[in-house]
Chains A and B, each alone.
Chain A
Amino acid sequence: MKADGGPMRFFNNMRIRDKIFVGYLMAMLAVVGVAIPSWRYLAATDQRFEQALGRDVPQLLALEHLRDKAATLIHAVDVFAGRMAANQLRTGDSNSLAAERTAMQDAERDLAGFLAAFAGDLRSAHISATDPRSQILAAGDAVLSIPKGLSARADSGATANELLEIAEGFDTSAIQFCSLIDGAIANEERALATMHEETRDAQAQATWLIGSGILCLILVMLACGYTIANRIAQPIVRLRAAMTRVGEGDFAAIEELSTRDEVGALVDAIRAMVNKLQEAGKELGESEVKFRTLVGNIPGVFYRCANDTAYTMEFISPAVQALSGYPASDFIGNKVRTYASVIHADDMDLVNKAVEDGLNQRQAYVIEYRVVHRDGSTRWAREYGQGIFGEAGELLHLDGAVFDVTERRRMEGELRQALDQAKEAMDKLSRQDRLAALGQVAGTVSHELRNPLAAIRNSMALIRQLTADKGLGVERAMDRVERNIARCNGIISDLLEFTRKRDLNRMSTAIDGWLAEMLDEHTMVEGVAVVRELSSSGVVALDRDRFRQVMVNLLDNAAQAMTISGWSPTDGRRPTIAVKTEAAGPHVRLSVADNGPGISTENLAKIFEPLFTTKASGVGLGLPTVRTIVEQHGGTIDVESAVDAGTTFVVWLPRQSADAALPDDKDKEQAA
């Protein structure tokens, strides 16, 4: 388009209105250009035809009249001459032929009249002597002179032969005249025929010319119409293309357009608008950059989501990547994933409920939930959100901020754990305090009781001597007294044992071997089987005397539970105690399991408490003592029990490391 020459550029720069006007003008010019020559050509052909007709037809008619009159005159002359000749021959009288003479004279006058008229028409024209018409006139004059001669000769009494000679001469002239007329008529007719043909040809030519002209006209008009339409449309097409590019951000595209027509005005208007938009966009861009920088720098995830079933994310700040491992673009428009998809499945119900409640009550909601990070780890998130409502009270969208509180939660957890540990330690301390206080009292009381008990025992010995061999039957009662004095002493010993603080005397001990020996020496209650499975291969720093107490206590408890009167296993199983050791990491796991009546859940919680007992005899210090000894060894003790299935005590003792510096048996003996 730019390469177009002057006229085309001029045309391009015309207004659309003018372009259309120019188009119409060109079409009209083309119409006129075709119509005028066609009309003129047709008119000329017509005129020629008319002219020919006006000249040739009357001439032809005149000639035909001349011929007719000549024939009539010939006939009249022949008749008069013949009769005259006949009369001459018969009578010699010629006057009796008046009628024939009159007919001949009439015919002569007729012919003379027509010949004069024929001649009169020709008089104005310059006719050459060789023209057939002048010959006809000359021949006519010759023909006309004869009847007069004949009539005069007849009156003068000419002979029949003379008359016949005159008639013969007349015939010759007449025949020449007639043949001249015939020639002229044939000429005229030929001329007419030729002209007719020419006219038909001319008309055909004119028709072809006009047809071609119209065809050309149509083609020209189509070409003009297409060109003009094209010229009008092209700037609009280019404008559209430019607008598309502007839409894609190429603002320079609008600058490349140049047209001076109405589209040009439109382009100018759009250009102005685009420039304003560009400026506005720039300002908006700057403010958006500020906003994004602000949002990006705040260590939280800000979002705005639509109020639809999927909570489609309209905006979410880039910090979401730190929280979830996925880029913000994944969430915007829910393109790749929904925000809900990163919320821990177990927390989903809680989150949904909090959001729904918040929206229903039109209150901000605060939720803490877990987010499953892309790397599989779990983060704690704290979300502050609220619904944004329109003027009519309709929910427009949800805005909120989410913060990663994993660290805080972790610290809270640690704090809680530390508090629990502190509480446990305090409990332990206070328990130890209580036990210490109890120990003091028990120690004092036990000592005080020992003396009265000794007095009772001595008195009983005295009574036994005094009543011996007297047959009083009090031996049974005395046995009972002594037996119960022994029980009291036992209880006092237990109390003192429990309350006394003693340091351990530890020696490296292969626990399996030591246990096997200990079990061999231990006298088990009749009817109770002991099975052992000692496979820990562990070495433990053990105070053997104290730990023997632990084992005896656990074994006796189990045996007593299983042999208690009134209980028998429902499935008839044999009362069995299983002693088992196994390696468990840095520990040796030692278990003592019975298949006795079990302990109720209620009692199970209290069995390690001092002074709790379910047994008829005993003060409830056995298991507390066991626990104290185990803990002194740096171990722990657990219990599991199921009613009518059995009870298992599990002791965890720290395994002695290879380089432990504790003396073993030999060292001990050598030292001793």
Chain B
Amino acid sequence: MSRANVMIVDDDQDLAESLAELLEMSGCKVTTAANGREAVLSHGKRDFDITFMDVRMPIMNGVDSFFEIRKLKPDAKIVMMTGFKEAIVAKALEAGAVGLLNKPFDIAAMLAIVAKAA
């Protein structure tokens, strides 16, 4: 696997950390953000091949963050992650989110998406 540039956005630090470690073992370069606003700020600084975005987060939720990032970078690839069946996610998917991962998901599914994006 190539050195894909991946961003993990999740306010659950343990989850973000574990995903990051798994992706890094697969050769990815991973950046984490604790909420939507941090993710937007990071996207302003650099480009990512793919972003995994939790929905329910403080400060700025995943869907709002998705739209903010798309304003900066219309081509940004973003995958939504959620533990709830939330209607709000549909807005992001309609607007061009790459996919949806329902928590808890198999790491293999995530790696497949990264491989496809890189």
Interface size on A, residues (CB 8 A): 14
| B49 located at the interface, meaning its Cβ lies under 8 Å from any Cβ of chain A in the complex | no
- Specify which chain A residues have a CB less than 8 angstroms from the CB of B12 in the assembled complex: 616-617
14 CB-based A-B contacts, threshold 8 Å: A477-B21, A480-B18, A564-B35, A565-B35, A566-B37, A566-B38, A566-B59, A566-B60, A597-B59, A613-B56, A615-B58, A616-B11, A616-B56, A617-B12
- Specify which chain A residues have a CB less than 8 angstroms from the CB of B68 in the assembled complex: none
- Specify which chain B residues have a CB less than 8 angstroms from the CB of A567 in the assembled complex: 58-59
- Contact status of A480 and B17, CB under 8 A, knowing A566-B59, A616-B58: yes
Return the contact of B34 from the options A565, A614, A615, A617 (Cβ within 8 A): A565
| B110 located at the interface, meaning its Cβ lies under 8 Å from any Cβ of chain A in the complex | no
| B89 located at the interface, meaning its Cβ lies under 8 Å from any Cβ of chain A in the complex | no
| A484 located at the interface, meaning its Cβ lies under 8 Å from any Cβ of chain B in the complex | yes
Contact in complex: B58, A566 (CB < 8 Å)? yes
| A447 located at the interface, meaning its Cβ lies under 8 Å from any Cβ of chain B in the complex | no
| A240 located at the interface, meaning its Cβ lies under 8 Å from any Cβ of chain B in the complex | no
Q: Which of B15-74 contact A (CB under 8 A)?
A: 17-18, 21, 34-35, 37-38, 56-60
| A196 located at the interface, meaning its Cβ lies under 8 Å from any Cβ of chain B in the complex | no
B21, closest chain A residue (CB): A477
| B75 located at the interface, meaning its Cβ lies under 8 Å from any Cβ of chain A in the complex | no
Separation of A394 and B14 alpha carbons in the complex (Å):
86
Return the contact of B58 from the options A480, A483, A484, A564 (Cβ within 8 A): A564
Contact in complex: A614, B17 (CB < 8 Å)? no
- Specify which chain B residues have a CB less than 8 angstroms from the CB of A613 in the assembled complex: 56
Q: Which of A609-665 contact B (CB under 8 A)?
A: 613-617
Return the contact of B35 from the options A483, A484, A566, A617 (Cβ within 8 A): A566
- Specify which chain A residues have a CB less than 8 angstroms from the CB of B21 in the assembled complex: 477
Separation of A613 and B56 alpha carbons in the complex (Å):
9
Contact in complex: A616, B18 (CB < 8 Å)? no
Contact in complex: A614, B56 (CB < 8 Å)? yes
Contact in complex: B59, A483 (CB < 8 Å)? no
Q: Which of A183-210 contact B (CB under 8 A)?
A: none
Separation of A613 and B58 alpha carbons in the complex (Å):
10
Known: A566-B59, A597-B59, A616-B12. 10 other contacts (CB 8 A): A477-B18, A480-B18, A483-B14, A565-B34, A565-B38, A566-B34, A566-B58, A615-B58, A616-B10, A617-B12
- Specify which chain B residues have a CB less than 8 angstroms from the CB of A480 in the assembled complex: 14, 17-18
B37, closest chain A residue (CB): A566
Separation of A252 and B59 alpha carbons in the complex (Å):
99
- Specify which chain A residues have a CB less than 8 angstroms from the CB of B56 in the assembled complex: 613-614, 616
Q: Which of A463-478 contact B (CB under 8 A)?
A: 477
Contact in complex: A564, B59 (CB < 8 Å)? yes
Separation of A567 and B14 alpha carbons in the complex (Å):
20
In the complex, which of the residues B14, B17, B57 has the most CB atoms of chain A within 10 Å of its own CB atom? B14
- Specify which chain B residues have a CB less than 8 angstroms from the CB of A597 in the assembled complex: 59
- Contact status of A614 and B14, CB under 8 A, knowing A477-B21, A565-B35: no
Top 7 nearest A-B pairs (CB, nearest first) are A616-B11, A566-B59, A616-B12, A566-B35, A565-B34, A564-B58, A480-B14
- Specify which chain B residues have a CB less than 8 angstroms from the CB of A564 in the assembled complex: 35, 58-59
- Specify which chain A residues have a CB less than 8 angstroms from the CB of B59 in the assembled complex: 564-567, 597
- Specify which chain B residues have a CB less than 8 angstroms from the CB of A483 in the assembled complex: 14
Q: Which of A594-618 contact B (CB under 8 A)?
A: 597, 613-617
- Specify which chain B residues have a CB less than 8 angstroms from the CB of A484 in the assembled complex: 14
A565, closest chain B residue (CB): B34
Separation of A564 and B11 alpha carbons in the complex (Å):
10
In the assembled complex, how far is the CB of residue B64 from the closest CB belonging to chain A, in whole angstroms? 12
In the complex, which of the residues A477, A565, A567, A617 has the most CB atoms of chain B within 10 Å of its own CB atom? A565
Separation of A613 and B37 alpha carbons in the complex (Å):
19
Separation of A567 and B36 alpha carbons in the complex (Å):
12
Contact in complex: A614, B18 (CB < 8 Å)? no
In the assembled complex, how far is the CB of residue A490 from the closest CB belonging to chain B, in whole angstroms? 13
Q: Which of A565-615 contact B (CB under 8 A)?
A: 565-567, 597, 613-615
Separation of A484 and B11 alpha carbons in the complex (Å):
14
| Binary flags per residue of B2-14, CB closer than 8 Å to A gives 1, else 0 | 0000000011101
Separation of A483 and B18 alpha carbons in the complex (Å):
13
In the assembled complex, how far is the CB of residue B67 from the closest CB belonging to chain A, in whole angstroms? 17
- Specify which chain A residues have a CB less than 8 angstroms from the CB of B37 in the assembled complex: 566
Separation of A565 and B58 alpha carbons in the complex (Å):
9
- Specify which chain A residues have a CB less than 8 angstroms from the CB of B34 in the assembled complex: 565-566
